[in-house]
Amino acid sequence: MLSMNRPEILNIDKAIVDNAVSLWQAGQLVAFPTETVYGLGADAANGEAVARVFSIKDRSKFNPLIVHVAEVAIAQRYVQWNKLADKLVEAFWPGPLTLVMKRRVFCPISELASAGSDTLAIRIPSNPVALQLLKAFGGGIAAPSANRSGRVSPTTAQHVTEEFGDAIKLVIDGGPCSLGLESTVIDISTDTPALLRPGSVTRKALEELIYPKDDKQKVVAAAAKRELRVPEPNEGDPKSPGMMASHYKPSIPVRLYADTVAADEALLAFGPEPLAGAANTLNLSPKGDVIEAASNLFAFLRALDKPEYKAIAVMPIPAEGVGEAIADRLRRASA
């Protein structure tokens, strides 16, 4: 049953934390901020609550969810831990890195969160509001980005209410997300780690940590390329369905690598010299900084996604560092 009231948008205090925890314990959904994007959270151990997430998002049941926890010790109860996980966690948790690992035999997390596979995706977010909520809850919260399937991820509480109206009871407002781009997803469930989704923790940072360039490794390096495997989007059955080409789609066309712009187009600009002549221009980063651009990407795509424009023209953005993740999301937006 949908309530007739608008969802509340609240700033965090003890009463709100208690409210969120009670809703989670009752199998309800609560949207909350993370440093990446807003998540639509459910008790990950409650199959019905997890099913509610899929249904409200109109999401294919075969797309697994990320489980959010407050502490490494909790993650270790869910998945088969390994040395590489220790290394990655020491460097990047809490933060925008999701680890895909094998589920433990007696993993209490709903199989639906794994979409039936024997792996589970986990992360500890660094956003203080998210951590406060997760600590109070104690267990794992399964949370996809709080948008309807195939739409741009929300980076403010306002975006979440635009997506779902009154269909969720509580949206916790932690202000705009500091990073604005979903977490990097790395699969370390096999001997050859694969980058399933680029993000703010860059491929370079991961490769340097996983394949350190010390002398001993030079011999090995001759045989192995010391690079993360990147699964092709259309390579058989994609391991991470989030890799599918048609995600992150505004409702009007997105035109990449624009070097001119038409009067009936909106312009997503980058750098100190935005193209002239667009119906509306938003500049991801006037100073040409890819991190600033990442934090603005989804909010600006949303703002320019208006039927009065024929398309969103996007200026070229360097695909290095976080730029790889921006290029990835823009490619999907234009697919």
What is the binding site for ligand TXA (CB under 6 A)? 34, 36-37, 39, 63-66, 98, 100, 114, 117, 119-121, 143-145, 182-183, 185, 196-197, 239-242
Amino acid at 226: R
Q: Which does 261 bind (CB under 5 to 8 A by kind): Mg ion, ligand TXA, none?
A: none
Phi, psi of 55 (to 5 degrees): -70, -40
Token representation of residue 186: 């790395």
CB of 100 to Mg ion, least distance (A): 15
CB of 300 to ligand TXA, least distance (A): 18
Phi, psi of 36 (to 5 degrees): -90, -75
Q: Which does 133 bind (CB under 5 to 8 A by kind): Mg ion, ligand TXA, none?
A: none
If the CB atoms of residues 241 and 318 are measured against Mg ion, the closer one turns out to be 241
Residue with smallest beta-carbon separation from Mg ion = 145
For residues 121 to 160, the per-residue mask of contacts with Mg ion, x marking binding by CB under 5 A and - elsewhere, is ------------------------x---------------
Token representation of residue 203: 């491929």
If the CB atoms of residues 187 and 265 are measured against Mg ion, the closer one turns out to be 187
CB of 308 to ligand TXA, least distance (A): 29
Q: Which does 29 bind (CB under 5 to 8 A by kind): ligand TXA, Mg ion, none?
A: none
CB of 29 to ligand TXA, least distance (A): 13
Taking the CA atoms of residue 273, residue 301, residue 326 and residue 328 in that order, the dihedral angle to the nearest 10 degrees is: -130
- What would the DSSP string read from start to end of 141-153? EE--BSS-TTSPP
Three-state SS letters, 239-299 = CCHHHCCCCCCCCCCEECCCCCCCCCCEEEECCCCCCCCCCEEEECCCCCCHHHHHHHHHH
How far does the chain reach from its first CA to its final CA, in angstroms?
35
Residues that bind Mg ion (CB under 5 A): 145
